[in-house]
């Protein structure tokens, strides 16, 4: 079809048509360039060698792993012991090699490390917990001590306790898990109650590798080698106890022979059966999350009664898989778990379903904003502001135009009335 250029077509219309054509080309080129730039950015921030889609992790979502302080072989984590988040989401990490406490950003960037006070350096820091007071409570099993340090690694009220292997801190309590039971202490480290002795009986314990304190002050305990979970009130009275699998301490010398005797209530081969419960934490939904060292999974239990909820993860060395996870902590701000993946020599950041305890869309948005999508917030806010300003300006203009036309129409009316009045007068 031939282009029509009528003699009456104005120069302005020709300019408009050219302008539209030029801007269409510019817009197309711009969109292509932006698509290319976005693609490059996405490739830049997407980790290489992501876990395969076919990996069956039971619903566990891998976020990232942390491998070391730098790329140098000697700076890699070795036998990761613990990774706990502070209130700002920074991760504080111990391993079996460095003898220091290492600090990483939530994105996994190494910040610094310290070895404690110069006059009393840390020897073998293992499990840790942050208190609401911002202090770091570190188990030093070989020194029979809980080292209390500020964020700079300075002494802040350490105390002695026999063979501590786990610790949890609330506003008014410190709970220390030990080889023979657990202790409830005040914030000065003075005992309020000591629970248990070493053994297999009802009130006995065999390595309490996991303790956690609920919002209501309830205390949750992982009795590792007895393979039991239990809940206690703040004064040390037991609320419930469940056997979570076959105890790992069934072998004993009887009449000079090594004999294995299973506990009668051991759950063998069931889905909920744990192999060796170690570290423990509570998520925002109030559930107990346990690192099962030998099953290489995270197991979730109901805090009300210890009933089994689910298991997440799998054994292996790929990202999202575990090989002897020994401790787990939870960051409520980011709704993720930091797992000390011991034999894989790393800390893994993972998520499991239902941990936020809130509405799923809200949780999904919160989770997304902890990742690269957070960079899209400022442009989104800018877009909303621009749209709002445009709408306001348009509505003002429309109101002003309406007012003007109203004034115009009222003017005519006066004129008409005046004419009518004159006509009546003349009559």
Q: Where are the beta strands (DSSP E) in 226-317?
A: 228-232, 238-243, 251-254, 257-260, 277-282, 288-292, 297-301, 308-312
* Choice between 15 and 307, CB closer to other proteins: 15
Which residues are within 8 A (CB) of 254 and not within 5 positions of it... i.e. 6 or more apart?
none
Please state, in angstroms and rounded to a whole number, the distance separating the CA atoms of residues 177 and 168: 8
Please state, in angstroms and rounded to a whole number, the distance separating the CA atoms of residues 236 and 76: 40
**Which residues in 261-320 contact other proteins (CB under 8 A)?**
317-319
We find the least distance from the C-beta atom of residue 139 to other proteins, in angstroms, to be: 26
* Choice between 230 and 348, CB closer to other proteins: 348
CA distances 418 to 404, 413, 415, 426, Å, are 21, 8, 5, 12
361 touches other proteins (CB under 8 A): no
* Choice between 243 and 311, CB closer to other proteins: 311
CA 278 to chain centroid, in Å, comes to 20
* Choice between 120 and 386, CB closer to other proteins: 386
Please state, in angstroms and rounded to a whole number, the distance separating the CA atoms of residues 421 and 410: 16
**Which residues in 8-67 contact other proteins (CB under 8 A)?**
8-10, 12-20, 22-24, 26-27, 30-31, 34, 37-38, 41, 44-45, 47-51, 56, 64-67
We find the least distance from the C-beta atom of residue 418 to other proteins, in angstroms, to be: 31
We find the least distance from the C-beta atom of residue 187 to other proteins, in angstroms, to be: 34
Q: Which of 311, 334, 346, 351 binds other proteins (CB under 8 A)?
A: 346
CA distances 20 to 5, 32, 406, Å, are 17, 18, 35
Number of Cα atoms under 13 Å in the Cβ half of residue 150? 4
372 touches other proteins (CB under 8 A): yes
Q: Which of 43, 53, 71, 423 binds other proteins (CB under 8 A)?
A: 71
173 touches other proteins (CB under 8 A): no
We find the least distance from the C-beta atom of residue 289 to other proteins, in angstroms, to be: 23
For other proteins, how many residues bind (rule: CB under 8 A)?
A: 66
Please state, in angstroms and rounded to a whole number, the distance separating the CA atoms of residues 104 and 86: 11
Let me know: does 275 contact 294? Beta carbons within 8 Å. yes
Please state, in angstroms and rounded to a whole number, the distance separating the CA atoms of residues 246 and 141: 26
**Which residues in 130-159 contact other proteins (CB under 8 A)?**
none
We find the least distance from the C-beta atom of residue 361 to other proteins, in angstroms, to be: 22
Q: Where are the beta strands (DSSP E) in 293-383?
A: 297-301, 308-312, 325-331, 336-341, 346-351
| Exposure letters 9-38 (e unless 16+ CB within 10 A, then b) | eeeeeeeeeeeeeeeeeeeeeeeeeeeeee
**Which residues in 94-133 contact other proteins (CB under 8 A)?**
105, 107-110
Q: Which of 365, 377, 406, 420 binds other proteins (CB under 8 A)?
A: 377
* Choice between 19 and 58, CB closer to other proteins: 19
Task: Kindly give the pairing relationship between strand 197-198 and strand 204-205.
Answer: parallel
We find the least distance from the C-beta atom of residue 267 to other proteins, in angstroms, to be: 18
* Choice between 317 and 416, CB closer to other proteins: 317
We find the least distance from the C-beta atom of residue 375 to other proteins, in angstroms, to be: 4
Chain residues in the site for other proteins (CB under 8 A): 1, 3-6, 8-10, 12-20, 22-24, 26-27, 30-31, 34, 37-38, 41, 44-45, 47-51, 56, 64-68, 70-73, 76, 105, 107-110, 317-319, 344, 346, 372, 374-379, 382-383, 386
């Amino acid at each position: 079809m031939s282009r029509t250029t009528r003699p009456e077509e104005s120069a302005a219309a020709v300019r408009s048509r050219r302008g539209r054509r030029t801007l269409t080309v510019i817009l197309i080129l711009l969109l292509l360039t932006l698509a290319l730039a976005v693609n490059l950015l996405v490739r830049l921030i997407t980790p290489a060698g992501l876990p395969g889609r076919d990996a069956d992790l039971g619903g566990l979502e891998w976020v990232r792993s942390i491998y070391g302080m730098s790329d140098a072989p000697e700076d890699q984590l070795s036998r990761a012991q613990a990774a706990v988040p502070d209130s700002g989401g920074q991760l504080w990490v111990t391993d079996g090699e460095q003898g220091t406490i290492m600090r990483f950003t939530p994105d996994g960037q190494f910040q610094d490390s310290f070895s404690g006070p110069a006059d009393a350096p840390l020897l073998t820091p293992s499990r840790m917990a942050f208190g609401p007071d911002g202090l770091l409570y570190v188990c030093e099993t070989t020194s029979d001590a809980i080292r209390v340090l500020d964020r700079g690694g300075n002494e802040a009220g350490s105390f002695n306790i026999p063979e501590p292997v786990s610790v949890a801190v609330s506003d008014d309590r410190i709970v220390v898990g030990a080889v023979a039971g657990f202790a409830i202490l005040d914030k000065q480290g003075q005992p309020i109650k000591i629970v248990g002795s070493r053994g297999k009986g009802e009130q006995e314990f065999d390595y309490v590798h996991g303790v956690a304190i609920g919002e209501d002050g309830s205390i949750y305990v992982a009795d590792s080698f007895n393979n039991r979970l239990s809940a206690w009130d703040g004064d040390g009275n037991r609320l419930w106890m469940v056997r979570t699998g076959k105890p790992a301490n069934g072998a004993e010398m009887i009449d000079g022979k090594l004999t294995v005797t299973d506990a009668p209530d051991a759950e063998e081969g069931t889905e909920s059966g744990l192999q060796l419960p170690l570290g423990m934490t509570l998520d925002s939904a109030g559930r107990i999350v346990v690192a099962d060292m030998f099953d290489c999974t995270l197991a979730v239990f109901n805090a009300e009664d210890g009933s089994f909820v689910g298991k997440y993860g799998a054994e292996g060395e790929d990202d999202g898989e575990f090989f002897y996870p020994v401790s787990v902590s939870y960051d409520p701000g980011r709704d993720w778990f930091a797992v000390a993946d011991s034999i894989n020599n790393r800390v893994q950041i993972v998520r499991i379903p239902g941990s936020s305890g809130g509405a799923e869309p809200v949780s999904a948005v919160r989770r997304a904003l902890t990742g690269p999508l957070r960079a899209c917030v400022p442009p989104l806010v800018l877009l909303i502001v621009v749209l709002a300003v445009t709408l306001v300006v348009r509505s003002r203009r429309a109101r002003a135009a309406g007012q003007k036309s109203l004034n115009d129409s009222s003017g005519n009316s006066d004129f008409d009335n005046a004419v009518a009045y004159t006509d009546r007068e003349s009559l």
